[in-house]
Amino acid sequence: MQKHLFITLGFLLFISLNSSTLQAQRSIYGEAKLKFDDVLEMIDRSYVDTVNQDKLIQEAVIGMTKDLDPHSEYMTAKEFKEMNEPLKGNFDGIGVQFNILKDTIVVISAISGGPSEKLGILAGDKIVKIEDTVVAGKGITNNDVIKKLRGVKGTKVRVGIKRRGKPELIDYTIVRDKIPIYSVDASYMLTPDIGYIKINRFAQATMQEFHEGLEKLQKKGMKHFVLDLRQNSGGYLNTANDLSNEFLKAGDTIVYTQGINSPKKGFKADGKGKLKSGKLVVLIDEGSASASEIVSGAIQDWDRGLIIGRRSFGKGLVQNPFNLRDGSVLKLTTARYYTPSGRCIQRSYQEGKEDYYQERSRRSKSGEFFNKDSIHPNDTVKYFTARKRVVYGGGGITPDIFVPVDTSQNSAYLTNLFSNGVFNQFALDYIEKDRAGFAAKYPDLETYIATFDADMVMVEFLAFAEKEGVKKGGGGDAKADSAWAKKVKITFPGMDVKSQQYKDFQEYAKKEVIKEYAKGFEKSKETIKEQIKARIANNQWSSEGFYRVINSGSDEVKEAIKAIHGRTFKEMKIQE
């Protein structure tokens, strides 16, 4: 704080300084920095119109960060708070998971221990009034709901709820409180001897949640373990170190960080972890980044476990937040992190931020998602694991066992079902019609997984999808017609759009897409059935229900089980 005060006073005293002092100051702050101050002063004194200096400076700071790395950025106080909320593990609100069905807010579940659950708000309740305003049938959005129901802990909000079987609205006054955000999505046994935990981010409460799940699995006889970090974009460095510590021996380096202005700092395991033995598999993909790569990199470098999936994102930079006077924050990259073997997995960002974030598209076009031989990390320097296996840096963590993306069931029809949110909406609608009957038929998740067959509801689902604008045959689908119209223009870029030839081809193309949509249902039928079953499970048993269904068909999970029960660990010289 005193340093900031000194700098501010220096700027204020600038005009009265003599030439020798000015020269000394220029050597301290640099010509460029003084130029910026000069320009602001000139604008303030001489510009033709009134200028919002705060906004001008903010835009200038944003401009500065654009020429740095892709992860350094300026953030307002509000933006920084919203970014940190999922990592802090809680937010202030009323404590419900909700969805919008037929323009009405429907409670999927009241979060355990939250204020709504304590008042008796139930799954299936419809929130039709907030304060004195009717919100049902008014085109309300998810963002609208969040703005109206979230608020500072201790504040109150009144809601009117319509409950099935009750003729009158039930009025509740809810006192907002801290609501937990969970970072562990699922923890269950894949087989009688293999436990599984899915982590979606590295937050403050992650290790507590992890240990709770781990204890449950160990009581069930777990001998081997699968850690799922797919689509986990990272979080806190300390949490990544704590998780890595669970698997490594005392003294093993987990990661070290270093930058021009940041001395080398290493993090080592203390040997107190609970998973130092038994076969270990870590699942990663192109969405696994930062903290996920620290964990998988440490495990790979020490040959502690197998990495299965696809090459990770490639973020090896450490950001620190610097608070500015007005509450805004400069999130600045201060160091790179390095895995135990010495590799930095950060991929190149020399072509700018826009190019950097096109990486997924480039990988897809190069064939990397389908063929391991198409993986080309930026760094060709060889690094070696503890047991002398070759690994590379400069472009993410390359898995020990590659599992390609399965596109065999993709179709235009399936894409439209996803993009229109049909699966989620149908699942909510299906349970909402008779929650009590559903619960009686499927009293627990195990019964549901064993006995529910999506074929039983397929006719109902297809009818629901058509009402939502996604037709099995494709005819009359505006999005499909539009897509094919664009294809015509691409196919014949010079054709006159008003010509008969163009119109004839467009009509032909539309007929073809109808045929493709009809084929699309048959091609995607198994995926459609899986999604229906998983989304219904998610509505009734939260994210664990979803992952237990989805993972039953996951190629990565199947490969993990195969590797653990086979000879892969021995053949690849991985600790067993």
Query: pLDDT tens across 382-405, in order?
Result: 899 999 999 988 889 999 999 999
Lowest pLDDT segment from 43-47, 145-149, 516-520: 516-520
Task: Reply yes or no on whether the pLDDT at 411 is more than 90.
Answer: no
Mean pLDDT to the nearest integer, 276-283: 97
On whether the CB atoms of residues 419 and 411 are closer than 8 A, the answer is: no
On whether the CB atoms of residues 390 and 438 are closer than 8 A, the answer is: no
Q: Which of 342, 341, 336, 340 is nearest to 315 (CA)?
A: 336
Predicted pLDDT of residue 483: 54
Q: Which of 12, 2, 10, 550 is nearest to 283 (CA)?
A: 550
SS3 for 351-372 is CCHHHHCCHHHHHHHHCCCCCH
Task: Reply yes or no on whether the pLDDT at 454 is more than 70.
Answer: yes
Q: Which residues are catalytic?
A: 290, 301, 315
Task: Reply yes or no on whether the pLDDT at 359 is more than 70.
Answer: yes
Task: Reply yes or no on whether the pLDDT at 475 is more than 50.
Answer: no
Q: Give the three-state DSSP class for 536.
A: helix
Q: Does domain 90-180 have CATH number 1.10.3720.10?
A: no
Quick: pLDDT tens for 497-525.
677 766 776 666 666 655 656 677 888 99
Predicted pLDDT of residue 27: 52
Which pair of tokens denotes residue 264?
Answer: 């080398």
Task: Reply yes or no on whether the pLDDT at 15 is more than 50.
Answer: no
Please state, in angstroms and rounded to a whole number, the distance separating the CA atoms of residues 508 and 493: 17
- Give the whole-number percent of the chain exceeding pLDDT 70: 87
pTM of the model: 0.81
Q: Which of 547, 563, 553, 554 is nearest to 187 (CA)?
A: 547
On whether the CB atoms of residues 490 and 484 are closer than 8 A, the answer is: no
Mean pLDDT to the nearest integer, 33-49: 85
Predicted pLDDT of residue 379: 67
Provide the sign of the torsion angle of the four alpha carbons 354, 355, 359, 364, taken in this order: positive
- Domain locations along the chain: 2-51, 90-180, 184-405, 412-556
Q: Give the three-state DSSP class for 346.
A: coil
Predicted pLDDT of residue 166: 81
Predicted pLDDT of residue 533: 97
CATH class of 184-405: alpha beta
Quick: pLDDT tens for 65-120.
888 888 888 888 888 887 777 777 778 889 888 878 778 898 877 887 788 888 88
Predicted pLDDT of residue 202: 94
Ramachandran region of residue 342, left (φ > 0), alpha (ψ -120 to 50) or beta?
A: left
